[in-house]
Amino acid sequence: MRITPAPAVLGAALLLGLTACGGSDSDEGTPGSGGAGAIKVEASDTDCKVARTEAPAGTVEFAVTNKGSQVNEFYVYAKDGRVVGEVENITPGLTRSFKVELTEPGTYETACKPGMKGEGIRADFTVTGSSSATGAAGSDEKLAAAVAAYEKYVAHEADELLENTEAFTAAVKAGDVARAKSLYAKARGPWEEIEPVAESFGDLDPKIDGREDVVEEGMAFTGYHRLEKDLWKDGLQKDSGAVADQLLADVEQVVAKAKAVELNPLQLANGSKALLDEMATGKVTGEEERYSHTDLYDFAANFEGSKQAVAALRPALQERDPELLKAIDARFADLDAELDRHRTGDGFVAYTQLSDAQVKQLTVTLDAVSEQVAKVAGVVAA
C-alpha cells in the first residue's frame, strides 16, 4: 500500500511510521502544552538529569543537552516497555528538542543511553491528569486522516515483512546460500521503512535487528545480522537454522503488534525525522550491513518511510505551512537524485564501492533533508 502524493510532490513523498521519535535540533526548548515549557535534560556519560519528573497529560517537550563525551540518546518508555518517544544521535555539546504525546496518565520511564547502548540510565516519569487529554494535535480532521492512512500503510508493510522474511529464512534453512543472499535486502526492506514502529516493542528490536555489538550488552547475537554474518563471512553454522526459526517467530510477534498499534499525528512527524537520524547514524556510516554491504538498500527504505510520513501529513502541512512543505519536497528530490546515482539494475551497488567523496555528498544531502523535516513536529503540534 502506498499513499499517492499530490502532483506537486517531488520524488515519491510517501508515508512512515513509528512511536514518537527524534525531533528538531535546538539550542533551547520552547513551551509546550504538557507543562511550563520544555523539560530540560542534562545527559552525560554517567548521569541523566531530568529537570522535572512530572507533567500533565498532553504534549510534553524535552530539550536534551549532551554534556558528556559520547554520542547519547534519550527515550521515554510506557509502563509495558514500549518506546513512546526518543531522540537519537545527540553529539557532545548538542541540544536536541522533541515533543511527544503522553495523553494517558500514569508512570513512564525516561532513559539516557551514553554511547547509544544498553538499558540506559533510567528514572520514573509521572503523567498526571485525565486520559481524555488530546495533546496539541487536537482533533484536526486532516491529522486524523493522516493517522488512519499511516496505520493502513504500517499494516501493509508488516504483511510484506512477514512474507519476505518467510522466504528468506526458508532459503537459509534449505542451505541455499545464493538465494538467501538475494532475498536478504528484500526481507529487511519493510522493517527499515517502518522501523520506528517495529523497533518500539521492547527486546524484539535487538533480537531481530541487533548488530554483533549486542554481545557486549549481555545479549545473544541473533536475527537478520547474525544470518548476514553467516551468509557473507562465516558460512552457514550448525545453529543457523535455529536462528532463522527464531527470527521468523520474532518477526511474527512484531507484525502482530505493529498491526494493532494506535498512533497519533505527532508520532508520524517524529517518526519521519527518526528515520533520517537512523540513516545518518547507521546507514551512511556503513555500520549497519557490515558483512553484506547492502547499506544503500536500507538507506533507501528508511528514506521511503520518512517520505511516507510527510505524504500522510501533506494536507495538514499544506494548510499550516506550505513554504515548509515546498522546501521539504525540494530536499526530497535532491536526495532521490543522489540515491539514483548509485543504482544498478533493480538495486544498488555495494556500499564499499562508494568513494569518500560520494559518501560525503550523501551525508550533506541527507543533512539538508533532515534540517527541513525536523520542523514538521512543531507544525503538527502547533
What integer is the mean pLDDT of 275-299?
A: 93
Alpha carbons 308 and 361: distance in angstroms, whole number: 23
Q: What is the pLDDT of residue 14?
A: 31
Distances (CA, A) of 45 to 31, 40, 183: 27, 17, 40
Lookup: cell for 348: 544498488
- Domain covering 141-381 in this structure, CATH number: 1.20.1420.20
Q: Which of 230, 272, 240, 247 is nearest to 378 (CA)?
A: 272
- pTM (two decimals): 0.83
pLDDT, the chain, mean: 88
Tell me the backbone φ, ψ of residue 301, rounded to 5 degrees.
-70, -45
Q: How confident is the model at residue 130 (pLDDT cuts 50, 70, 90)?
A: confident
Q: What is the pLDDT of residue 1?
A: 54
- CA-atom Rg of the chain in angstroms: 20
Say if residues 84 and 77 touch (Cβ distance below 8 Å).
yes
* 214-234 tens-digit pLDDT: 877 788 999 999 999 999 999
Topology given in CATH for the domain delimited by 39-128: Immunoglobulin-like (2.60.40)
If you count DSSP H runs as helices and E runs as strands, how many of each does the chain have, helices first? Answer: 11, 11
Q: Which of 273, 27, 34, 4 is nearest to 152 (CA)?
A: 4
Residues of each domain in the chain carrying CATH 2.60.40.420: 39-128
Sign, Cα dihedral of 133, 265, 88, 244: positive
What integer is the mean pLDDT of 46-56?
A: 96
Residues of each domain in the chain carrying CATH 1.20.1420.20: 141-381
Check pLDDT > 50 for residue 165: yes
What integer is the mean pLDDT of 104-109?
A: 94
Residues whose CB falls within 8 Å of the CB of residue 101, separated by 6 or more in sequence, listed in order: 20, 58, 59, 60, 135, 136, 137, 264, 266, 267
